[in-house]
Amino acid sequence: MDLVYLSQLLITGITEGSIYVLVALGTVIIYKCTRVVNLAQGEFVVLGGMLMATLTGVGLPIPLAFVLTLIIVALAGGLVAILGFRPYLKRNIPFGTIVVVTIGIHMFLKMAIMLIWGKLPISVPAFSGGIILEFYGVYINPQSIWVIALTGLTLVAAIYFLEKTLLGKAFRACAENRFSARLFGINDDKMLLIALMLSGVLGAVGGATIAPISYIKYDFGMMYSVNGFIAAVIGGLDKPMGAVVGGLMIGLISSFGAGLFGAGARDILVLATLLIILVLRPTGIYAGKAGG
7 closest CA partner among 148, 143, 131, 139: 139
Q: How many CB atoms are located within 10 Å of the residue 35 CB?
A: 14
pLDDT, one tens digit per residue, over 252-284 is 999 999 998 988 888 899 999 999 998 888 888
What is the distance of C-alpha 185 from the center of its chain?
30
More confident position, 243 or 91: 243
pLDDT, one tens digit per residue, over 127-143 is 987 788 888 788 889 99
Q: How many CB atoms are located within 10 Å of the residue 91 CB?
A: 9
DSSP letter at 82 equals I
Interval 169-192 mean pLDDT? 78
231 close to 246: Cβ distance less than 8 angstroms: yes
Residues paired with residue 140 on neighbouring β-strands, in sequence order: 133
What is the chain's mean pLDDT, rounded? Answer: 89
User: Residue 172: what pLDDT?
Assistant: 74
DSSP letter at 83 equals I
What's the whole-model pTM score?
0.92
Residue 290: is its pLDDT beyond 60? no
Residue 165: is its pLDDT beyond 80? yes
Rounded CA gap, 286 and 281, in Å?
A: 9
User: Residue 11: what pLDDT?
Assistant: 94
202 closest CA partner among 76, 83, 56, 65: 76
